[in-house]
Amino acid sequence: MKALPWKLAGLYAGLTLAATLILLPLLFALSIAVQGDTVSPRLVPDFSRLDPSAFVQVFQKEPLMARWILNSWVVSLTVTAGQLLVSLLAAYPLALFRFRGRTFFFFLFLASLMIPWESTILPNYLTIAKWGWKDSYQALIVPFLASGFGIFLLRQALLVVPHELEEAAVLEGCGHGRFLWSILVPLIKPALATLAIWAFLNTWNQYYWPLLVIDHSEWRTTQVGITAFRSSEIASFNLPMAATLIVLAPTLLVLFLGQRQLVEGLTAGAVKG
């Protein structure tokens, strides 16, 4: 069915309007960021006097900005790798072994999904403080290495592995480690990619926990860092906006590159077509 020209024009008008509204806050941030050190910025910048120096000044006015970005990368990449490994190891027996208590462990992992992080944040803070882990990478990483969501996502992916494959692997005299690493991992790559993108986005964007366990500013992550730009000592608006856009860039990039993957993986569970 070919759409009528006026209908098509209406569709594009609707799409463009929606896209503009959604991008508006980001365009607004960009507009403010390039207006220089003014206390009364305008909504639309003067295009003859654009001043992108804020993107450089961010790093000069706040020497720790580069460190915060490094912290965020270290923490996000480590948590992502850790969640992939821990979830894969836990999902493997849950999906492919038959053992006494499998149902028990299944529900135990399910229970972990039922306990919201916000409900355990106080005892967790006390634990971290007691261990002397405040102001450290391990405080930002270790509590997040296991993910109930990850275990169920990978278990679901492993469940569809055909039985013949296991039997063939047994005949070849293939051990568990090799079977998991060289046969199963390539098979469930899409699910692993989904989990990786999800874990990275969520870890990079964490705010509450880093706010609690970090006292010294050199251990801050970017999310807590950018809110510091709004403090009273920096009165201008261009710096907080530039800092925010710099911090947004990695996650936007990850999303754009991995969008198709993420959508397929997430919706496999949510939508039973």
Partner 1 sequence: MHTTRRGHIPWLALAYMAPALVLFTVFSFLPFARAIQLSLFLVDRNTFEPAKWFGLGYYQRILNVGDTALGDEWLRSIVTTFQFTLMVVPLTLILALGLALLASAKVKGIGVYRTIFTSSLAISLASAGVIWSLFYSPSLKLFDHVLTDAATALPAVAAMTIWTSLGFAFIILLAGLKAIPKDLWESARIDGANAWTTFWRVTLPLLTPTLLFLLITSTIGAFQAFTQFKVLIDSVGPDGSTNVLVFALFTAFWTENNYGFAAALSVVLFALLLVLSLAQYCFDGRVHYQ
- Backbone φ and ψ of 35, nearest 5°: -95, 10
Closest CB to partner 1 among 29 and 193? Answer: 29
Which one, of 258, 113, 106, 93, lies nearest residue 191 by Cα? 258
Closest CB to partner 1 among 216 and 230? Answer: 230
Q: How far is the CB of 188 from partner 1 (least distance, A)?
A: 15
Q: Give the long-range contacts of residues 244-252, CB within 8 A, separation 24 or more.
A: 244/29, 245/26, 245/29, 245/30, 245/33, 245/55, 246/55, 246/58, 246/65, 246/69, 247/69, 247/72, 247/222, 247/223, 248/26, 250/72, 250/73, 250/204, 251/200, 251/201, 251/204, 251/205
Closest CB to partner 1 among 31 and 53? Answer: 31
Q: How far is the CB of 88 from partner 1 (least distance, A)?
A: 9
